[in-house]
Each structure stands twice: as C-alpha cells, then as structure tokens.
C-alpha cells in the first residue's frame, strides 16, 4: 500500500509499504478514506524536533472498517469510523475520567501512521466511534477535523472553562486555535478574542464566533486583551501554539482565578514557578482526550450544527502529500486534507 | 509600640516603632491579640530570599478593632476580627470570583507587619471578618490559624479538588500541609496520603485525617503514591513547600486528569513545558484567597468542628519573637504563636 514517509526535515515521500495486518484480537484494520497533515507534523518537518529517521506519518483519520480482531465488539466491517490520535481502551480509570489521551494502555497513532491507504487501529472498541448515516462531502471533512484539531480545540476551550459569562482569548490562529473559537462559541462564551495577524484566518475566526481580533503579540497583545476586559484579562485563554512566547502570552492575558487551556505541543517552554504562583491561574493542557468529545462532535457535525471542516483550505490526493507539507510549512494552507 | 523587625538573615529583634494611625477612610486600626511566625518568614530569615533590610514582619493576626476610618461600615470598635494576609476590597470582579488574594486593590499585609502590638488594616470592610461570641483560648488559636495557614491549606485542597471519591496526596508537612490534610478530610476525601518523615508531624497528620503516610521523597515518594493508587497516582495533590523537588513530586504523584493545588511560595522552581504537557494535570496555585473561606472557617472553629490551632506547638510572648523564629528555623516547632 502507499504511505507517507518522512525521511528527514523537508523530505516527505509517498512510498510502498506493507499493508498492516491484525496483531492483537482487539485491533481493527481500516481503509483510510481521508487523513491530513497536522501542525505538529511541522515540528520535525522544520527540523525543530529530532526526526526519528525514515518515519511513518499521520495520526488523523476517517475510514471504513475492513477487518476486526476476534475481541472487537463495538465496530464491524463496513462501518464508517472516526478515532483520535491516541488509541485508548476507554475503560481504565483515566479514560473513565475523560482523559483517554493518557489511557493506561494508550497507543500513539503517530507511531502507527495514518497518512496511508490502510491503518491498524489498536484497541478498536475503545478508540473508534461509528458514524451514523451517510455523510455529505462537507460532513466528511468535518469528521476528519474531529479526529484531532476539532477535538483538541474543544478540549482546550473546555480546559479553559469557556462558557456563558466568560471572555475567552485564543492565542494561535492555526486550525486548533480556530476550532477552539468554534468550541468556545458553542460552549456559550460571551466574547471571544482571536489573537491573529492573518486576514484569511481572522475571517475564519469571525465565522467561527470570534467577536474581537487582536493583532498584537507578546506584551502588547496582553495589554490589548486587558484593555478589552476592563483591565482584568480574559476569564479563559486557549494556548494553541506551544512556544515560550505564546505560553506566556496566554498566562499573562488571563485574569487571576481564570483558566488557561494549553494544547500547543510544548517546544522549549520553561515556566518560572514564581510567575506561575503570582499569576494565580488554573493551567490544564496536554494531549487532548479527543475520544471524550467524539460522540458529541460527530452528532453536531451530522446535524450540520458545526462546520469545522472549513479549516481545510487545501485538498490533495495522498500521492501529493509532499506538496501538502510544503503548503502548510509555507503558510499557504492552514490545514491540508489528503484524500485516499 | 513594640514590633518585630528583621534586620537581616537570622537577626530578628523586637523594637519600639510608631503606633500606626488611620491613613485612608477605609482603614481600621486593630489591637493585635495574637500573631505568628509563618513558614514564608523563614525564607528571608535563612537568607534564601533577598532581605529588604530592616523590615517589619508578620501578616497573620487576630485582633480587636480599636479605631475605624469614616468609610468603614462592616466592623466597629471593639469587634474581635480575623483577616487574611492580603487586604482586599472584596467587591472587584476578582474578589467576587473568589480570588481576593489578587484583588484589584490588594495590599500585602507583610508590608504592614502584624507581628506588633497594633496594625493598620487597609480596606477594613473587605478584609476583616468579625468573630461572633466569645472564643475559648483553643478557639482563639484556631482563629489565628485561619488567618493564613488554615485558609491556605484549605485553598490548596480546594484547588486540588479534594472531595468524595478522591485520593489526596499532600507534599509538605509544615502547618499548611497539615491543615490541607484537615481541609481534605472536611471536604470528604476518601483517602489522604501525608508525605512526611517527622514522627510528630505524622501524628498530627493522622489526627487531622491522613489515612496513609509516605516517608519517601522524590521519585521514590512518587512510586509509593502510585503503589497506593493502583499505579494511577493521586486524584488530588497539594504542594505546600515551594521547591523544585516538591513541585515535581506533586505533579508526578498526580494521575492524568488530576489536580495539583500549589501554595508553597515558589523558590527557584522551573517547570519544563513538555513535562507539564505530558503530565496532563490541572495546576492551580498562588497566594491563597483566604478571605473567600474565612466566614466558613470561623463558623467551623466556633462550632468546635475543627481544631486547626493544634498546629501551634510553641507559644511565646511577642517580646520573644527571636526565639520563635529560631525554633521554627531549627524545626523545633511547626508553628509559633506570638501572644501580644
């Protein structure tokens, strides 16, 4: 089968690899119908993260179940399914508490590689959620978004306790940041401040529910958020970048007693304990437990209540994955869908 | 009047200073009846924190109102009152959200200095809480504890979301850690793991509600907490020390999705962003909004439902403050009460 392989920074190729087979009785094999390139894939692509050498890529996926192991009960051959970027049993205490991304038996799907024609999904019953009905093409795009960027943005908004009466600030205007805006709007936030300096992303931010745009960054960005909130800062802030600057911008934009949800994969971030002590804000982040939200998100998508697929602004066949990476790296695209 | 002055590390004296007078119409002057030495006073005492030169000390107090400014409405001359270590208006948005320690108009009482015969309390209406009835000597000790260590331990337990069904770990066996145990017990925690290696403090920890004692520290301490929790870690962890080791011990002792409440004043702590991302725990800490809890704590004390005053294991007259500091520094005492 064909699969995306990253050989090193900037070097992405589509090559022939063995088709996966069932390993555990709890596995399923899916025929991937669509997958995509993640902002986090850009870290190794840019050499900002040590590359594992030639490595399979991809952790987002929508697909059709092709084969199931003997122990699989919840999904069947032919089912259209979505899963998150972490396979989880959905039964351990951590999963039951809604943190499936840190399941006792977690398997990172990035190590499996879903930018491919087929993928082995471990812990299929816990991981995969069946999609009811026949999605439209637009719904299919949105379902793919649910696999990571929507679920991650949603978690960030929930972690930041976005809701009625709250002013939410969102640091980062990539797909996750934009979808955190959508989430904050759905969760009932009064006001949503998008921190963005790109016109096209500002437009999407507004479509998703942003009420204010702040173009400034760093201390100036913080000052603008405070200006917009009677000097107090936001109640809820989403951090969706992962750098020192964005993290401090998020913490400092938040009022004492407020909440920061951080989902940008942390790169070189060091938080000074005294700064954090003085900030007196709640901080919750990490790999998003997308599985917690998937059933609800799939329902919203199939009812056309949300349109997260709008973040995909470039669609390419899997064979042209290299161009997809380039387009995202060069910021010509916010989020690239690879159709299989 | 007599007041405690720290001239430098290890150099605490009781000297004559001017009696405070009303400055703002919102001020009150109280005659301090008892005050105490705080664990945080030991940082400058040990030279671990830059000393301000000769400095007034103390931020905990119970007292009787002696004089009020023209704008004061809620307390009157003769009232027995308790306040927290931060004066707050109790009306701004931050106070209303329960974070009075970060009030828009906050005044740190440490800059006032309550280890003295009298103290000026700014924002008296927002800061002071009147004590009903006639406290017994034991209740008076407990009221003094409410001024900081009880309120801080309580906040830490609330920030860690201690409650029914939860296993709570407490890092730090000083007065704050011990009172966080009391708080966790009152909040309904199922199980409370005290991390302590001092027999006398272990005994008090058990009296306050600890169900398990872990003597190991660092990685071994974390391993023991995991052993006690089916490998998952605590749901809720209180950090009440403020060092890198204690902070990491707290974070690592907590299961994914769990909560860390940190109230040890941070000294030299640096948190690696990736560690925090991977931990996937909620972190909330800072100067405790003791004022939020004071009315409830005073009621519990006056009803003899809690006995936080038990943390005071040495009582000295104000004149002997230097010995009080020494005793705490040398760990001969957990918490020293200074009677005025």
CATH number of the domain encompassing residue A209:
3.40.50.720
3-state secondary structure of B259: strand
State whether A99 and B270 contact (CB < 8 Å).
no
State whether A283 and B276 contact (CB < 8 Å).
yes
Q: What is the mean pLDDT of residues A268-293?
A: 97
Residue in B with minimal Cα distance to A275: B266
Distances (CA, A) of B23 to A114, B7, B87: 69, 26, 14
Cβ B121 vs Cβ B31: under 8 Å: no
Residues in chain B with CB shorter than 8 Å from the CB of A277 are: 262, 265-266, 285-287
Distance from CA of B72 to the nearest CA of A (A): 26
Give the pLDDT confidence score for residue A265 in this predicted structure: 87
Give the pLDDT confidence score for residue B265 in this predicted structure: 87
The H or E element that residue A290 is part of is helix A290-302
The H or E element that residue A257 is part of is strand A254-262
Query: Is A36 exposed, middle or buried (CB count within 10 Å of its CB: 0-12, 13-18, 19+)?
Result: buried
B142/B186 same-domain check: no
> What residues have CB less than 8 Å from A11, skipping those under 6 apart?
none
**Residues of B at the A interface (Cβ-Cβ below 8 Å)?**
93-94, 97-99, 101-102, 104, 159, 230-232, 242, 244, 247, 255-257, 262, 265-274, 276-287, 289
Task: Report the distance separating Cα B102 and Cα A231, nearest Å.
Answer: 13
CATH number of the domain encompassing residue A332:
3.90.180.10
Task: Report the distance separating Cα A14 and Cα A244, nearest Å.
Answer: 34
Distance from CA of B246 to the nearest CA of A (A): 12
State whether A277 and B262 contact (CB < 8 Å).
yes
Nearest alpha-carbon partner for A142 in A293, A310, A289: A310
A318/A276 same-domain check: no
Residue in B with minimal Cα distance to A245: B273
> What residues have CB less than 8 Å from B74, skipping those under 6 apart?
B124, B125, B128, B130
State whether B281 and A282 contact (CB < 8 Å).
no
Sort residue B273 into left (φ over 0), alpha (ψ -120 to 50) or beta. Answer: alpha
A266/A293 same-domain check: no
Query: Is B16 exposed, middle or buried (CB count within 10 Å of its CB: 0-12, 13-18, 19+)?
Result: exposed
Closest to B286 (Cβ–Cβ): which among A99, A280, A285?
A: A280
Asked whether residue A225 carries a pLDDT value surpassing 90, the answer given is yes
Asked whether residue A49 carries a pLDDT value surpassing 90, the answer given is no
A291 pLDDT tier (thresholds 50, 70, 90):
very high
DSSP character for B314?
E
Distance from CA of B278 to the nearest CA of A (A): 6
Task: Report the distance separating Cα A79 and Cα A122, nearest Å.
Answer: 16
Task: Report the distance separating Cα B215 and Cα A1, nearest Å.
Answer: 55
Task: Report the distance separating Cα A247 and Cα A259, nearest Å.
Answer: 13
A135/A165 same-domain check: no
CA angle A67, A85, B258 (to 5 degrees): 125
A87/A189 same-domain check: no
Query: How many Cα atoms within 13 Å fall on the side-chain side of residue B74?
Result: 15
Give the pLDDT confidence score for residue B53 in this predicted structure: 78
Give pLDDT tens digits for A129-163.
999 999 999 999 999 999 999 999 999 999 999 99
Asked whether residue B155 carries a pLDDT value surpassing 80, the answer given is yes
Distance spanning both ends of chain A, measured CA to CA? 11
Beta bridge partners of B214: B195
B143/B178 same-domain check: no
Residue in A with minimal Cα distance to B281: A284
State whether B282 and A282 contact (CB < 8 Å).
yes
The two beta strands, A80-82 and A62-68, are antiparallel
State whether A257 and B99 contact (CB < 8 Å).
yes
A64/A126 same-domain check: yes
Nearest alpha-carbon partner for B105 in B113, B97, B94, B114: B94
Give pLDDT tens digits for B288-339.
999 999 999 999 999 999 999 999 999 999 999 999 999 999 999 999 999 9
Cβ B87 vs Cβ B122: under 8 Å: yes
State whether B242 and A273 contact (CB < 8 Å).
yes
Distance from CA of A297 to the nearest CA of B (A): 21
Length of chain B measured in residues: 340
Give the pLDDT confidence score for residue B177 in this predicted structure: 98
**Residues of A at the B interface (Cβ-Cβ below 8 Å)?**
93-94, 97-99, 101-102, 104, 159, 230-232, 242, 244, 247, 255-257, 262, 265-274, 276-287, 289
State whether A277 and B265 contact (CB < 8 Å).
yes
Asked whether residue A95 carries a pLDDT value surpassing 90, the answer given is yes
Residues in chain B with CB shorter than 8 Å from the CB of A161 are: none
Distance from CA of A255 to the nearest CA of B (A): 8
Cβ A176 vs Cβ A160: under 8 Å: no
- A84, A236, A276, best to mutate vs chain B, most B CBs in 10 Å: A276
Mean residue pLDDT of chain B comes to: 96
Query: Which single residue is written with the structure tokens 């400058």?
Result: B44
Closest to A94 (Cβ–Cβ): which among B97, B256, B274?
A: B256
- With pLDDT > 70 as the criterion, what percentage of chain B qualifies? 99
State whether A272 and B272 contact (CB < 8 Å).
no
Distance from CA of B89 to the nearest CA of A (A): 15
B147 pLDDT tier (thresholds 50, 70, 90):
very high
Give the pLDDT confidence score for residue B49 in this predicted structure: 78
Distance from chain centroid for Cα B305: 19
Distance from CA of A93 to the nearest CA of B (A): 8
Task: Report the distance separating Cα A83 and Cα A102, nearest Å.
Answer: 15
Domain boundary residue among A244, A267, A285? A285
Give the pLDDT confidence score for residue A50 in this predicted structure: 76
- B254, B269, B280, B290, best to mutate vs chain A, most A CBs in 10 Å: B280
Distance from CA of A322 to the nearest CA of B (A): 28
Q: What is the mean pLDDT of residues B93-111?
A: 96
A227/A264 same-domain check: yes
Task: Report the distance separating Cα A114 and Cα B140, nearest Å.
Answer: 66
Residues in chain B with CB shorter than 8 Å from the CB of A273 are: 242, 244, 247, 266-271
- A286, A287, A289, best to mutate vs chain B, most B CBs in 10 Å: A286
B126 pLDDT tier (thresholds 50, 70, 90):
very high
| Host domain of residue A49 | 2-148+289-339
Among A238-242, B53-57, B201-205, which stretch is predicted with the lowest mean pLDDT?
A: B53-57
A141/A18 same-domain check: yes
Domain boundary residue among B252, B268, B285? B285
Give pLDDT tens digits for B217-274.
999 999 999 999 999 999 999 999 999 999 999 999 999 999 999 999 888 999 999 9
Give the pLDDT confidence score for residue B48 in this predicted structure: 83
Number of domains into which chain B is organized: 2
Domain boundary residue among A285, A306, A330? A285
B187/B224 same-domain check: yes
A24/A143 same-domain check: yes
Task: Report the distance separating Cα B280 and Cα B238, nearest Å.
Answer: 16
Nearest alpha-carbon partner for A258 in A266, A248, A250: A250
Residue A316's CB: how many other CB atoms inside 10 A?
18
B234/B294 same-domain check: no
Closest to A280 (Cβ–Cβ): which among B99, B268, B278?
A: B99
Give the pLDDT confidence score for residue B40 in this predicted structure: 87
- With pLDDT > 90 as the criterion, what percentage of chain B qualifies? 95
């Amino acid at each position: 089968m064909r699969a995306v392989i990253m050989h090193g920074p900037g070097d992405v190729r589509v090559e022939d690899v063995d088709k996966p087979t069932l390993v555990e009785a709890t596995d399923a094999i899916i025929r991937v119908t669509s997958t995509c390139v993640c902002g986090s894939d850009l870290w190794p692509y840019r050499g900002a993260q040590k590359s594992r050498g030639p490595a399979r890529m991809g952790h987002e996926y929508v697909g059709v179940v092709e084969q199931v192991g003997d122990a699989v009960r919840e999904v069947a051959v032919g089912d259209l399914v979505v899963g998150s970027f972490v396979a989880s049993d959905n039964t351990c205490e951590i999963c039951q508490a809604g943190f499936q991304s840190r399941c006792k038996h977690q398997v990172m799907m990035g190590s499996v590689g879903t930018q491919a024609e087929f993928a082995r999904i471990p812990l299929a019953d816990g991981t995969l959620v069946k999609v009811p009905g026949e999605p439209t093409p637009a719904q299919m795009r949105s379902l793919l978004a649910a696999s990571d960027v929507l679920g991650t943005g949603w978690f960030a908004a929930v972690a930041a306790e976005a809701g009625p009466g709250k002013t939410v600030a969102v640091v980062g205007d990539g797909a996750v940041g934009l979808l955190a805006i959508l989430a904050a709007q759905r969760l009932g936030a009064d006001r949503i401040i998008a921190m963005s300096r790109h016109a096209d992303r500002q437009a999407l931010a507004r479509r998703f529910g942003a009420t204010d745009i702040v173009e400034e960054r760093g201390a100036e960005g913080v000052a603008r958020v405070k200006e917009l909130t009677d000097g107090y800062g936001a109640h809820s802030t989403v951090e969706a970048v992962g750098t020192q600057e964005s993290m401090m911008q998020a913490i400092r934009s938040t009022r004492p007693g407020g909440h920061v949800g951080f989902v940008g994969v942390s790169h070189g971030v060091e938080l000074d304990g005294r700064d954090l002590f003085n900030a007196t804000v709640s901080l919750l982040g990490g790999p998003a437990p997308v599985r917690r939200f998937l059933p609800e998100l799939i329902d919203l998508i199939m009812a056309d209540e949300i349109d997260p697929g709008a973040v995909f602004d470039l669609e390419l066949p899997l064979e042209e994955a290299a161009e997809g990476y380039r387009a995202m790296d060069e910021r010509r695209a916010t989020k690239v869908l690879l159709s299989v």
